[in-house]
Amino acid sequence: EVQLVESGGDLVQPGGSLRLSCAASGFTFSNYWMNWVRQTPGKGLEWVANINPEGSDNYCPDSVKGRFTISRDNAKNTLYLQMNNLRAEDTAIYFCARFGVVAATDYWGQGTLVTVSS
């Protein structure tokens, strides 16, 4: 059974940093593109970053470029999101998700809450 379990969400002050982790199991992690998607409480979804199976290429939207970095450790079956210089508008539930079919995510974790507030 495919499982994705996020951790690391917390309350952090504006300008602070946080690293999220996503532990994957039930599939060959090193074969798949992975991504992070966030959801502001009560609002919609926003794609945050994705990374290729080897970990050598990654992409993110302008809203987080230069502040967020996605990475992976295939030996540990774990996906990461390093978030720096956090802003209030980064407050959201962060989901880890697998690109299991063409240009779409077929498995999602349950999410981890990041709150940016003083």
Partner 1 sequence: QSALTQPPSASGSPGQSVTISCTGTSSDIGGYNYVSWYQQHPGKAPRLMIYEVTKRPSGVPDRFSGSKSGNTASLTVSGLQAEDEADYYCSSYVGVNNYVFGTGTKVTVL
Identify which range of 17-25, 69-77, 80-88, 103-111 contacts partner 1 by CB under 8 A: 103-111
Beta carbon nearer to partner 1, 1 or 62: 62
Q: How many CB atoms lie within 10 A of CB 86?
A: 21
Residue with tokens 């450790």: 73
Phi/psi of residue 117, nearest 5 degrees: -160, 150
- 105 contributes a contact to partner 1 by CB under 8 A: yes
Token duo for residue 69: 């970095």
Closest residue by Cα to residue 63 from 46, 42, 45, 75:
46
Q: For the window 22-41, what string marks contact with partner 1 as x by the rule CB under 8 A?
A: -------------x-x----
For binding to partner 1 (CB under 8 A), which residues are involved?
Answer: 35, 37, 43-47, 50, 57, 59, 61-62, 95, 101-106, 108-111
